[in-house]
Structure 1
Amino acid sequence: MNELTYRALVWLTYRLAATFAVGVPLVLLIWSAWRREQLVLRLLGIYWKVASLMAISLLLLTDQRPLGYAMAVVAPVLMVISLWFWVDINEELADQPSWRPLPLAVKVWRWAFSGFALISLGMSVTGLGCMQQLESSACLTWLEAPQGIHGLAATVFNFLFGGLWTEAVAAFVGYVALVAYLAGLLQWLLVRLPRYGRVAGDF
């Protein structure tokens, strides 16, 4: 695969992520809050907690930290699991009338997101080699979007707080967030999963 084609595919992956991993669920969250649809709010609450790993990977990639590439592989897998794992939510969604627009939109989005996750996983796996070859042209392509977002965040941060939001600061925040994320995941695996199994409850 030539460099231009690969770069186009990487950017397509980022654009699909912006659409299916951020844009659509954000609209669904606002919609469900407005409609007071507790079922959808529970599902999306879990989704956003898990999806924070994708934001962590972007923070790490901002400063070219190799761990960011690994997190970019893990994130879509965990995000798909968070949408399909819960027995009680799956049953409640299945019981919703097909003519109700919000539950129908959630069902369609789950399938669409699963398709995106396969694409994202396939592309992210090709970037794992960048953990050892940070300066190759293919690897630099993966950094364009995170560094573009960083530039915007730095401008906003400087305007609001008069401080510098540097790549090193972004990476530090990413590492701290990753530690907190792993602690929460470990607590769920060791405490909540054995007790409640695949029942989401008020998680």
Structure 2
Amino acid sequence: MPQVWFRPYVWMDYRLALLFTLIIPLILLIWAFVQKVDGIQRLLIIYWRVASLLAITVYLMMGGLGISFISGLMARILIPISLWFWVDINDEIDYQPKSPLKLIFTSWRWAMTIYCILGIVGFAPFLGCAFSENALKNPGCSVWLEGPLMFKDYFHHNSKPAFLGFLGMIGLVIYVVYLSYFVFVKLGKQGRSATQ
């Protein structure tokens, strides 16, 4: 495969994504459950629902589907929105007494927001890969598929890419239906309150 100058940055992005979108929020969620900090628990559960689009994107990329570039960009847009959207949860977290959990959670929330914004800027130029017929042959597009294909080799080595892409499409359809229901039905009723 021809070398592209930004390959190290793509792999750095995947490593940062693993840290910021999986490892740290999982630790924070367990910590919040142990400490019984309801506001942080609820926000992290909302985060995991929204961030599931990243997992769907990985499966779409394993299948070599161009729509994965759109879903990847949308995940980077929706995640920071989900972390700051809820007025009642934000107030609950703000009024909690100072603690190491609150400090680390707040730091992660800001770091995650900055990471997603930088990711949007860095990933947006590759949105054209979603509409390219030869995206897999284009080194600039295919470099983004290397991480998911490595994941496939570790966890789904006997599965066909078409089947994994199909699973990703099913996940995407379910995600879009749930998001549409939330935006067009629930959001009008509950507004920016997560407790109703």
TM-score of the superposition, structure 2-length normalised? 0.93
Contact 2:4–2:140 under 8 Å retained in 1: no
Any idea what the Cα deviations from partners look like across 1:158-179, whole Å, max 9, x if unmatched?
Answer: xxxxxx4221111111111111
Contact 1:53–1:181 (8 Å) recurs in 2: yes
Q: What SS is found at the alignment partner of 2:56?
A: helix
Residue of structure 2 equivalent to 1:58: 58
**Residue 24 (structure 2) aligns with:** 24
Distance 1:127 1:14 in 2: 15
Q: Does the 8 A contact of 1:39 with 1:92 survive in 2?
A: yes
Amino acid at match of 1:151: D
For residues 131-163 of structure 1, give each alpha carbon's deviation from its aligned partner in whole angstroms, at most 9, with x where no partner exists. 2041111111101000011111114xxxxxxxx
RMSD: 1.5
Cα separation, 2, equivalents of 1:93 and 1:56: 29
Comparing 35-44 and 79-88, the one that deviates more: 35-44
> Does the 8 A contact of 1:60 with 1:175 survive in 2?
yes
What is the rounded CA distance, in whole Å, between the counterparts of 2:14 and 2:125 in structure 1? 14
Alignment counterpart, residue 149 of structure 1, candidates 121, 146, 151? 151
C-alpha contact (below 8 Å) 1:32/1:40 kept by paired residues: yes
Unaligned 5+ segments in structure 1 are 156-163
Report the equivalent of 1:107: 106
How do 1:63-142 and structure 2 match up within 5 A? Answer: 63-98=63-98, 100-131=99-130, 132=132, 133-134=134-135, 135-142=137-144
User: How far off is 1:191 after superposition?
Assistant: 1.5
Are residue 178 (structure 1) and residue 172 (structure 2) matched? yes
Q: What is the CA distance between 1:129 and its match in structure 2? A: 2.2
Aligned residues: 192
Deviation of the 1:17 alpha carbon: 0.7
Q: CA deviation at 1:11?
A: 1.0
**In 1, Cα distance between equivalents of 2:21 and 2:109:** 10
Q: Tell me the percent identity.
A: 36
Q: CA deviation at 1:4?
A: 4.3
Write the distance in 1 (CA, Å) between the matches of 2:128 and 2:178: 28
Unaligned runs of 5+ in 2: none
Q: TM-score, normalised by structure 1?
A: 0.90
Helix, strand or coil at the partner of 2:5? helix
- Describe the SS at the equivalent of 1:5: coil
Cα separation, 2, equivalents of 1:20 and 1:179? 25
Regions of 4+ moved over 2 Å? none
Distance (whole Å) between structure 1 residues aligned to residue 86 and residue 68 of structure 2: 28
- Structure 2: distance between partners of 1:147 and 1:126: 21
Q: Which amino acid aligns with 1:199?
A: S
SS at match of 1:57: helix
